[in-house]
Amino acid sequence: MGSSSSPTDIKTTPTSNNGPTEANKKMGIVENAMRGVRSLSNTLKRHENYVIHLVLVGAFVSLSMRSLDRQHQIEALEAERVSLEQENKGLKKRIWNLKQGMLEEAANQDDRNLILRLKALFGDSIVQENKPDSSGPKPKFVV
């Protein structure tokens, strides 16, 4: 590796009887870290294909897990949507039946004010009023 110095080559000049100075200690730590990085780099260069394959497999596993999680979320939302659609259909049918019941009751009472209020409530297209001058049987309300 060229001219790298070993830990025994470091010359320390102690300022006291306690050992090397702080600056020399820090230099030794830095040199040890650099040697470790170089060693790791050399190992990675020798096993470059293994490292690449490991990273690719890890990414594939991670994406697969995420995809599976999303698929479960989609299935849960789809089931909730179907449930809400069924509930919505049930509510619409119930409202329709209630409207029909009110319209039949208004027709049976022959109350023009009630029919006008229902017309205002449900809209003009829901209730067709009976004409008082019609001589035939009363037509049913068209909803």
pLDDT of residue 87: 97
Mean pLDDT of the region 3-26: 57
Q: For 34-71, how does the pLDDT look when each residue is reduced to its tens digit (9 = 90+)?
A: 898 898 888 878 878 888 889 999 999 999 999 999 99
pLDDT of residue 132: 45
129 in Cβ contact with 115 (< 8 Å): yes
Mean pLDDT of the region 103-130: 70
Mean pLDDT of the region 23-35: 82
Mean pLDDT of the region 14-28: 66
CA-only gyration radius of the chain, Å: 43
Mean pLDDT of the region 107-123: 77
**CB-count exposure of residue 24 (10 Å: 0-12, 13-18, 19+):** middle
Which residues does 128 contact at the CB level (< 8 Å), separation at least 6?
Answer: 139, 141, 142
The chain-wide mean pLDDT, for the chain, equals 77
The domain limits of the chain are 18-122
User: Is the per-residue pLDDT at 14 higher than 90?
Assistant: no
pLDDT over 70 for what percent of the chain?
Answer: 72
User: Is the per-residue pLDDT at 135 higher than 80?
Assistant: no
pLDDT of residue 79: 96
